[in-house]
Structure 1
Amino acid sequence: MAKHKRQAPQPPLPPLGLKPLLALAIPSAVFTLLTNGFRIVDQYFIQDVSVEAQAAIGSSVFVVIFIYATFELLAAGAGPLIARATGAHDPIARRALLGEALFGALLLTMLLMVIGTLGAPLFTRALGLEGQAASESNRYLCTLFLTVLPLVLTPLIDQAFINMGSARPPLILHALSLSLNIILTPLLIHSAGLGIVGAALASNLARGISVGLGLLLLKRITGLTLKDLKPRGQLRRILRIGAPMALGTAFFAMVYWALLKTSVSPLGAHANAALGIGFSALEGCTWPLFHGLSLGAASLAGRYLGAQRPDLARQTFYMALPFATLLGLAASLTFFFAGEALTGLFTDDRAVHQAATEYAVILAASQLFLAWEALSTGILAGAGDTRTVFWYSTPFNLLRIPLAWLLAFPLGFGAPGIWWAINLTTYAKAICKGWAVWRGRWATIEP
């Protein structure tokens, strides 16, 4: 008689209530904040190198978001399926899905290493960077792509834990990763004299350690072995579910590339640096709060649907809505009243500080809508309705390109016009996604 490895006991279906939601949302928000903390750390320590290096870091973040879209093919595709397998108490299917997703991640890593290192100069030109800022960006991106494996695996490991109903392991792993990054970044940038290359090496080395520990923990929980890392016929399904989310993220990044090329970079390096500070440092602290709630709602919705309880999946949205509203209002007030003081922590340059402060004050007007949009995205993605997320995100993101240029130059608003273009399209996305969740079609689809 064949022996089978003992599987960890399956968690019961969580009862509807704020407590199970927050048990996922709070750790998810914290570890997302820790993830974005890498960008904050880079922005802080690179300021002593040069304004050009800071502009390169701030602009290159949109290349990182673009390649993150390829990670989402696997993470966003496997996540809802893992949640449904967990809700249906099927550990064998769950292990097979995870193993196949990890196999896909290894293939993706090899592809990105080649494309990224050869294409770094092309990415830099697409951002509109020139001179020393372009040179710094090339060095940063080449190093990042050569060591990209931890970046590829991180979101997949996060999604696996969250959709099994546990956000604590990613929280601990990201805390460890950021702690290592805080130590390594100044050492490699300044003490070792590596400059912007040191920032990239510090980020991926720190992530690599936490990823290794995460894989060991997943092995212990799911019984995952090296034999599971192979194609089993589910990779196509994973990619099909993940593709709309990945395309949405890719278009989001390309939109910001176009904004940089057509509207931000023509205003000067101070505008590039200001966007980097506002997007990475300020929204890098508030977006994780919204995204954490989104991840918690997605996990619950997916597991409720796997257990054939669409009524509980629907109620999850209405239960979380007041909490999303409070988070959005808190972020708006922080941006409006503390924006000048917060942006001053990341620059001593007067022009950069003024532009970054304008970003904070103007973006304060959209944080509530951004919180609502994030919650709606979580419910839709958790159900596997990723196509709806794509169609109610990408067209409005694309609209930012002509709208930002129109407001910045022909209408003469400059950088504030760009920030208002972001606001107006955020309002549209929040309204459309909220309507899609209220309509309820997502609760009846089979991903």
Structure 2
Amino acid sequence: MLSLAVPALVVLAAEPLYLLVDTAVVGNLGTVPLGGLAVGGGLLAWAAALLNFLAYGTTARAARRAGAGDRDGAVAEGVQATWLALALGLGVLVLFQVLAGPLTRLLAGSPGAVAEAGEQWLRVASLGAPLLLVSLAGNGWMRGVQELRRPVRYVLAGSLLSLVLCPLLVHPAGLGLVGSAVANVLGQTLTAGLFVRALTREGVGWRPRPAALRIQLVIGRDLLLRAAVLQVSFLVAAGVAARAGTASLGAHQIALQLFFFLALVLDAYAIAAQTLVGHALGGGRPADARATASRVVLWGLGTGVLVGAALLASRDVMLPLFTDDPAVLQQAEIVWWFLALMQPLAGVVFALDGVLMGAGDVGYLRTVTIGSAVVGFLPLSLLAGPLGWGLAGIWTGLCLFIALRLVGVLVRVAGDRWLSAPATVGT
């Protein structure tokens, strides 16, 4: 478990860690650039999360093939996923180039300085969308064949490049917020290039196979719908925060980036579980799959408790790293408690998500996630504005969303149906 989870942790944490540094660098430019990063970055993150089935769906399919002894077939899944990533990435790029202005104004709540800053950032950063999706596909097939060390090198190389360039381009070079976007694109270029080189060296043919692409799209459908509802919920929450004022939006951006960072850190166990469960079921070993589920629950819960305690202990040290604006700090202190106390629940939820994805039980995950968002997250976020609950209302909704998902996945894994979910492989 740990031999898979630790490299996955490094890969998962690299990009959000860079985004945290990016938020801190831009935050020192002022409240408007920070709000612009929240708006533009939120839209790009929405697109990436919406299409993350390129990683998670590919991992499940490749792991089943690898578990059955078909490594070439597992790598071939990566080839088709890469073609799909390029096609979808170009679509995302065109969408943001055409609609960057309307989308940022919609998310910011009205035309103004924040919306303009967000549009400026998004037009440049979206150039890296195809590269970002290619990297997702690369991570997917490599996880499936239990090759997690090379992705660490690839992702760290790109993230370190961005990490070095971001403060230099934003401040000494005088590019301001645009410098953040340029650094992002350059880092993604390096990472995607390394993944493509690794795939080429496997010696598997590069010809696109329409039948395989259609199968990947069908299997990704449930993950796509799940991600769409989830991301709409986060966009609605950001829109409500924006309408509450620039300080609320800035505090929400800081806390949300930390939430995403910690979610991906905890997701390291999910990646390990997904790979191990896929291999076990592909090899006809359901008892091993259930044992993996039991272990990953304990790891997720224990890590969540430690992370929550660390957040509470370090609040006064961490918050000033992101901003020195008193109004933003005041709002951030409100959401910090929510962020910390949800971590033990989130640790179990994210880990069991990986178990069910590895089993191919994505239809159930879709239903649980959508139901939890519709019943918990969205209503409280929408009511937070008119009822004057502010960020406390939004983050109460997020906590309820996590709690409802926890109940759903625990009930499913306690039964047997997930062990006989349809195989996520095809010809």
Instruction: Tell whether 2:50 aligns with 1:74.
Output: no
Q: 2:170 aligns with which of 180, 185, 189?
A: 189
Query: In the alignment, which residue of structure 2 is the partner of 1:16?
Result: none
Distance across 1 between alignment mates of 2:259 and 2:343: 9
Select between 295-304 and 147-156 the one with higher mean Cα deviation. 147-156
Distance across 2 between alignment mates of 1:80 and 1:64: 25
Distance across 2 between alignment mates of 1:385 and 1:144: 34
Q: 1:265 aligns with which of 230, 242, 247?
A: 242
Letter in 1 for 2:256: F
Distance across 2 between alignment mates of 1:208 and 1:405: 38
Q: 1:439–1:65: structure 2 CA closer, same or farther, 3 Å change rule?
A: farther
Instruction: Tell whether 2:63 aligns with 1:98.
Output: no
Instruction: Tell whether 2:25 aligns with 1:49.
Output: no
Tell me how far 1:369 sits from its aligned partner.
Answer: 0.8
Letter in 2 for 1:397: A
1:416-443 CA-to-partner distances (Å, cap 9, x unmatched) read: 1221121122111111112112223121
Q: 2:255 aligns with which of 274, 278, 284?
A: 278
Distance across 1 between alignment mates of 2:370 and 2:18: 26
Letter in 1 for 2:24: Y
Structure 1 contact 185–198 (Cα < 8 Å) conserved: yes
Tell me how far 1:409 sits from its aligned partner.
Answer: 4.1
Query: In the alignment, which residue of structure 2 is the partner of 1:39?
Result: 19
1:70-116 CA-to-partner distances (Å, cap 9, x unmatched) read: 53243333221111111111133223322222121222222222112
Tell me how far 1:363 sits from its aligned partner.
Answer: 2.1
Q: 1:54–1:416: structure 2 CA closer, same or farther, 3 Å change rule?
A: same
Structure 2 contact 307–343 (Cα < 8 Å) conserved: yes
SS of the equivalent of 1:198 reads helix
Query: In the alignment, which residue of structure 2 is the partner of 1:15?
Result: none
Query: In the alignment, which residue of structure 1 is the partner of 2:357?
Result: 381
Tell me how far 1:291 sits from its aligned partner.
Answer: 0.7
Query: In the alignment, which residue of structure 1 is the partner of 2:208?
Result: 230
Distance across 1 between alignment mates of 2:106 and 2:277: 39
Structure 2 contact 50–231 (Cα < 8 Å) conserved: no
SS of the equivalent of 1:194 reads coil
Query: In the alignment, which residue of structure 2 is the partner of 1:444?
Result: 420
Tell me how far 1:310 sits from its aligned partner.
Answer: 1.4
Query: In the alignment, which residue of structure 2 is the partner of 1:244?
Result: 222
Q: 1:335–1:408: structure 2 CA closer, same or farther, 3 Å change rule?
A: farther
Query: In the alignment, which residue of structure 1 is the partner of 2:347?
Result: 371
Letter in 1 for 2:68: A
Matches within 5 A, 1:213-228: 213-220=194-201, 222-224=202-204, 227-228=205-206
Letter in 2 for 1:291: D
Distance across 2 between alignment mates of 1:216 and 1:157: 10
Distance across 1 between alignment mates of 2:181 and 2:17: 14
Matches within 5 A, 1:418-437: 418-437=394-413
Tell me how far 1:25 sits from its aligned partner.
Answer: 0.7
Instruction: Tell whether 2:289 aligns with 1:291.
Output: no
Structure 1 contact 33–284 (Cα < 8 Å) conserved: no
Matches within 5 A, 1:291-310: 291-310=267-286
Query: In the alignment, which residue of structure 2 is the partner of 1:5?
Result: none
Query: In the alignment, which residue of structure 2 is the partner of 1:353?
Result: 329
Structure 1 contact 69–247 (Cα < 8 Å) conserved: no
Tell me how far 1:39 sits from its aligned partner.
Answer: 1.2
Distance across 1 between alignment mates of 2:49 and 2:397: 23
Q: 1:415–1:72: structure 2 CA closer, same or farther, 3 Å change rule?
A: closer
Structure 2 contact 62–77 (Cα < 8 Å) conserved: yes
Query: In the alignment, which residue of structure 2 is the partner of 1:200?
Result: 181
Structure 1 contact 362–420 (Cα < 8 Å) conserved: yes
Instruction: Tell whether 2:233 aligns with 1:255.
Output: yes
- Give the TM-score taking structure 1 as reference length: 0.90
Q: 1:34–1:414: structure 2 CA closer, same or farther, 3 Å change rule?
A: same
Q: 2:6 aligns with which of 4, 23, 26?
A: 26
Runs of 4+ in structure 1 deviating by more than 4 angstroms, as ranges, are none
Query: In the alignment, which residue of structure 2 is the partner of 1:111?
Result: 91
Structure 1 contact 289–327 (Cα < 8 Å) conserved: no
Instruction: Tell whether 2:128 aligns with 1:159.
Output: no
Matches within 5 A, 1:315-326: 315-326=291-302
SS of the equivalent of 2:146 reads coil
SS of the equivalent of 1:89 reads coil
Q: 1:212–1:139: structure 2 CA closer, same or farther, 3 Å change rule?
A: same
Distance across 1 between alignment mates of 2:231 and 2:210: 32
1:291-313 CA-to-partner distances (Å, cap 9, x unmatched) read: 11111100100111111111111
SS of the equivalent of 1:96 reads helix
Q: 1:408–1:118: structure 2 CA closer, same or farther, 3 Å change rule?
A: closer
Distance across 2 between alignment mates of 1:277 and 1:70: 21
Q: 1:132–1:24: structure 2 CA closer, same or farther, 3 Å change rule?
A: same
Q: 1:307–1:254: structure 2 CA closer, same or farther, 3 Å change rule?
A: same
Q: 1:104–1:431: structure 2 CA closer, same or farther, 3 Å change rule?
A: same
What are structure 2's unaligned runs of at least 5 residues?
none
Tell me how far 1:167 sits from its aligned partner.
Answer: 1.6
Tell me how far 1:408 sits from its aligned partner.
Answer: 5.3
Letter in 1 for 2:330: Q
1:316-343 CA-to-partner distances (Å, cap 9, x unmatched) read: 0101221111111012112223223211
- Give the TM-score taking structure 2 as reference length: 0.94
Structure 1 contact 188–198 (Cα < 8 Å) conserved: yes
Tell me how far 1:168 sits from its aligned partner.
Answer: 1.3
Structure 2 contact 125–185 (Cα < 8 Å) conserved: yes
Aligned residues: 421
What are structure 1's unaligned runs of at least 5 residues?
1-20
Q: 1:69–1:229: structure 2 CA closer, same or farther, 3 Å change rule?
A: farther
Tell me how far 1:24 sits from its aligned partner.
Answer: 0.7
Instruction: Tell whether 2:115 aligns with 1:134.
Output: yes
